A and B are shown apart, each in its own frame.
Chain A
Amino acid sequence: MKHLLSTKDLSRDEAVGILDTAAHMAETQAREIKKLPALRGRTVVNLFYEDSTRTRNSFETAEKRLSADVINFSAKGSSVSKGESLKDTVETIGAMGIDAIVVRHSASGAAHRIAHSDWTDATVINAGDGTHQHPTQALLDAYTLRRHLMGPDPLGQDLAGVGVAIVGDVLHSRVARSNVDLLTTLGAHVTLVAPPTLLPIGVETWQCGVSYDFDRTLAEGGLDAVMMLRVQAERMSAAGGGYFPSANEYSREYGLDSARLSRLPAGVLVMHPGPMNRGLEITSVVADSAQSVIVEQVANGVAIRMAVLYLTLTGGQGGAL
């Protein structure tokens, strides 16, 4: 695996291989000495054109735990604010002799563009591109689901038969797209729940169910996890931007509160990719409930990113997983 650009590119066996590698990585993170020498002498650039705390910190932690040298590049305060193009930035970084670029960009396809250009030979890992893909987030979600739902020894297993509802702003969500692709590949059944205005055109061709009615989806049962999406106000024009009448109404129809949670079996997991808008798509009581695995998702993110870095940066490039 030379790059990780999209969960669509992963076969079932490749995805299970990443989850298994992450499980072994997670085991090493319970040790007193958490640092491993696998990427010693390798240099990774975190190239972030969009704000991010958890993803960038998670990647940086993973890189350092594997002994890579880390260069952080954020668009703010760099030559990008002087108008430097993506091509020039990547070529400049590439000339410094780096092995991998972890890139987040507001343009869909930015990671793909870098990976398939002649600007650099480095490995490219997509850390979120526009409204397109965020593969490591989907992988850590799948890892979290597998850990909780697939028995005491989940190594080697996929997510066959697992039911997941992904609720909220699907239109702007790269997390939703990545998850639909990955969870379906792993054998799970995904239902998207959102108002029609927050569903993208062509969603009926995706490999998943679609519902406008959160309560009905909850009543139908068959769910093992409910994944709440953040309402991405920054990608909408004004507050709500005409996508829904008011925050209150959105919250009433599509928010996860204790009343809705109480109608679900006790084993159903509550997930959120973060950062949460507490009180909008999820209430604080639910976010902090025993069924919530939101904090664990962050911890699993480090293990997943260690696995992806290990698999893309060791061995023959383009080799098997």
Chain B
Amino acid sequence: MSVPGGNTVLTAADIARALTRIAHEILERNHGPEGLCVLGIPTRGVNLGHRLAALLAQIEPGLDTHQISGQLDVTMYRDDLHRPSAGTRPLAATKLPAGGIDGKTVVLVDDVLYSGRTIRAALDALADLGRPAAVRLAVLVDRGHRELPIRADHVGKNLPTSRSERVSVLLSETDGRDAVVISPEPAAPGGPERAEGGEPR
């Protein structure tokens, strides 16, 4: 993905440092590794979730990355499925760690927190899958402009933006390199930021 005319606000090293800090924060807040479960929201939240789970396993050698990480597709729980402008959203897979989420501390992971509507959908999706002991939210970028009473527990970077700007999270798994870029033009309709909860709806 190329981002013409964009300002890089987080480099690869910044992203790595932020994720490491968030991993430590998660363990501190949870008083250790017990009952943790990391669920990424497709697409880029999944990659970030896997990275966070790997970092957690690095800090706490007792943890197995594969046993604590998964992904949560929230598409069918969104509140804009019937908006004529939205287009039909493709579904993604939901994969829970073996043993499910009952009684676990679930850490939801997404790339950008914006309107909060994706997270609202994620909370509804979780409720249909089990009853976690607690749900926390970790995001790489919080760009403000919330439309719902939702906040993140762990934030990589607070990034004040205007609604007309576009925040692009690039990850090596999907985009070939790690960076967070802010550019002046709004996201194209149906673009990736929109699909991943970057745009207000």
Residues in chain A within 8 A of chain B (CB atoms):
1, 17, 20-21, 24-25, 27-28, 31, 33, 35-38, 41-42, 66, 310-311, 314-317, 319-321
Contact A314 B89 (CB under 8 A): yes
A28 contacts which chain B residues (CB < 8 A)?
76, 94
Chain B residues with CB under 8 Å of chain A are: 73, 75-77, 81-94, 124, 128-129
Are the C-beta atoms of A314 and B82 separated by less than 8 Å?
yes
Choose one: B82, B89, B90, B129; the contact of A33 (CB below 8 Å). Answer: B129
- Residues of A near B76 (CB, < 8 A) are 28, 36-38, 66, 310
Q: A66 contacts which chain B residues (CB < 8 A)? A: 76
> In whole angstroms, what is the CA distance A314 to B78 when docked?
11
Known: A311-B88, A314-B82. A37 touches B93 (CB 8 A): no
Given A31-B128, A31-B129, A316-B84, the answer on whether A37 and B90 have CB atoms closer than 8 Å is: no
- With beta carbons under 8 angstroms apart, the residue of A21, A24, A33 that contacts B128 is A33
Pair B91/A314 contact, Cβ less than 8 Å: no
Q: Dominant SS at the B interface? A: loop
Q: Given the complex of chains A and B, what is the CA–CA distance between A238 and B101 in angstroms?
A: 60
Q: Are the C-beta atoms of B87 and A319 separated by less than 8 Å?
A: yes
Point out which of B73, B92, B93 has the most chain A C-beta atoms below 10 A from its C-beta. B93
Chain A positions within 8 Å of B87 at CB level: 315-316, 319-320
Q: Taking A24-B92, A315-B86 as given, write out 11 further A-B residue pairs in contact, using a Cβ cutoff of 8 Å, ordered by the A residue number.
A: A21-B91, A27-B94, A31-B128, A33-B128, A33-B129, A36-B76, A36-B128, A38-B75, A41-B82, A315-B83, A320-B88
Q: Which A residues lie within 8 Å of B73 (CB)?
A: 24
B89 touches A315 (CB 8 A): yes
Q: Would you call A316 and B86 a contact (CB within 8 A)?
A: yes
Q: Give chain A nearest CB distance to B195 CB in angstroms.
A: 12
Among candidates A24, A27, A315, A317, residue contacting B81 with C-beta atoms closer than 8 Å: A315
